[in-house]
Structures are given as C-alpha cells and as structure tokens.
Amino acid sequence: MSKRNLSRVPLALAIPAVAGLAFLVLPLVGLLVRAPWATLPRRITDPAIVAALRLSLETATLATAVSLVLGVPLAWVLARTRLPGRRFVRALVTVPLVLPPVVGGVALLLVFGRRGLLGAWLDTHFGITLPFTTTGVVVAEAFVAMPFLVISVEGALRGADARYEEAAATLGATRWTAFRRVTLPLVAPGIAAGAVLCWARALGEFGATITFAGNFPGRTQTMPLAVYLALEQDVDAAIVLSLVLLVVSVVVLAALRDRWINAA
C-alpha cells in the first residue's frame, strides 16, 4: 500500500480517532493547567509530600525486588518446562491484572491477616504482623505488580533461542549454570522492561494498599493514598502529587519506548 493511500484517513475513522486522543490527553492537560506552578517548589518540599514520596519510592523498589526474586523463576517455569496445568498456572498469574485492587487487598487480609490462613501462624510463632505496616505495603504492591514482570520475562524467554541453553548443556553446564550464564543475559532486556513496568505499577498502587496496609502517614501512606487524602483537604497538594506520578509515568514510557518500537 502506497504512502499516499495511507495518508487518506477515512473521515469515519479520523473523527473517533481524534476524539479518542482528546479523551486521553485532555485530563492530563487539565492537570498541567491547574497545577500551582508558583508554589510548586515549596509544595514539593513539604514534609508530608516528601515522606509520601520517599515511602513510595522505597516500597515500590522493594516490591520490584521481591517480584524479581519470585517472578523470574516463575516465568522460566512457564516458558521452558512442560508443567502439568501450565495454562491454568498462567491464568492464575494473570488474575491480579484483572482483579479489582480492593478485592486483592481483601484477599491479602484473609491470608496474611492476624486471623488469616498464614497470618495467624506468622503472628503466633514469629510475632510477624503484615497488615497496616510498611511491609504490608510492599506485599500489596508486589501482589498487583508481579504479573507485569512475569508476562514480560516469559515473553522474552519464548523469544530467546533455546539452542544456546542446549549448547551449554552439551558442554557440561548444569541447568542452574546455563540459566545464570546463558539465559539471563539473553533475556536481560525483557527482565529490565518487566522490572520497570512492575516498579511503575507498584508506585501507582492504591486499592490493595489502602485495604491491606491502611493509610498512616509516614508508615503506609504512599503517593496515591496521599493524593486521595489531599483531595479532601488541599486540592493543590493533590495536583502536585499527581504531577509527580505523571512525570514518573512519562519517564517509564520514554525508557521503554525503544524496546516497544523494536518489538513492533
């Protein structure tokens, strides 16, 4: 098809396309227009905002680390083995993607709460309590964000040539050595992309966090929770926090842009 034909967009497609773009962009424009630019430096350095920023960055990073430790092996099992019920396992992995976050928070309470399936045992034998703690924030964020990492890494593993691993095995390498020396370098871009998406999703998590960890300033109040609270007290502070989250989203998109274009 020639470029001339491609440039002729039917009016029936152009109008809804422009409307769809406007629908996605205008709210962001409104956020920028209403931003308190004159007081922005002072508001960003507000102790409450700084505390929410620090907590969000720390918990999102820890949640990503947990997701890497647990998610990369899980992705390898899904991509490289003939595990019975593998499709069912994959479906379970993707459930948090479509599950309402609040429902995820309730599910975490039923498992890790003081009377939960595992929480009662942890509290009785080790004195460990997860709900309404900073650790609980990390658990909630990892629960909703890990599927992004698993899907990305599994896709990278399926796209990687398995013959390199087979060649390493013929040279005497164990499965662990082949995984560490061959597989991981091959899928490193996929792991990086999945980790960035996982981190961004953890940073923006709201529903599961407020349900499982609560909204305590300095302990469990992340940026999305601070935005929710600020809307009732100080709209300008909510806009400032929203701008920070918007900047993070743009940075994530810019970081992954080349990978998405090359994969297209």
Question: What is the SS3 string spanning 130-194?
Answer: CCCCHHHHHHHHHHHHHHHHHHHHHHHHHHCCCHHHHHHHHCCCCHHHHHHHHHHHHCHHHHHHH
Tokens linked to 137: 């924030």
**Count of Cβ atoms closer than 10 Å to residue 175 Cβ:** 13
Which residue's entry shows tokens 């890990």?
Answer: 146
As a CATH number, domain 46-263 is 1.10.3720.10
- Nearest CA-CA partner of 73 in 141, 161, 140, 150: 150
User: Would you say residue 90 has pLDDT above 70?
Assistant: yes
pLDDT in tens, 202-239: 998 999 999 999 999 889 999 999 888 888 888 888 88
- Nearest CA-CA partner of 197 in 135, 251, 264, 140: 251
| Domain spans of the chain, in order of start | 46-263
In percent, the amount of the chain with pLDDT more than 90 equals: 37
Task: Give the chain's mean pLDDT.
Answer: 86
User: Would you say residue 66 has pLDDT above 90?
Assistant: yes
Total length of the chain: 264
pLDDT of residue 19: 93
Q: Please, which pLDDT band fits residue 62 given cuts at 50, 70 and 90? A: very high
User: Would you say residue 119 has pLDDT above 50?
Assistant: yes
User: Would you say residue 263 has pLDDT above 70?
Assistant: no
Tokens linked to 185: 């370098």
pLDDT in tens, 182-207: 888 888 888 988 998 899 899 989 99
Q: Return d(Cα 264, Cα 158) in angstroms, integer.
A: 16
Q: Return d(Cα 101, Cα 207) in angstroms, integer.
A: 5
pTM, two decimals, is 0.85
Mean pLDDT, to the nearest integer, of 238-256? 80
Asked whether the beta carbons of 100 and 207 are under 8 A apart, the reply is yes
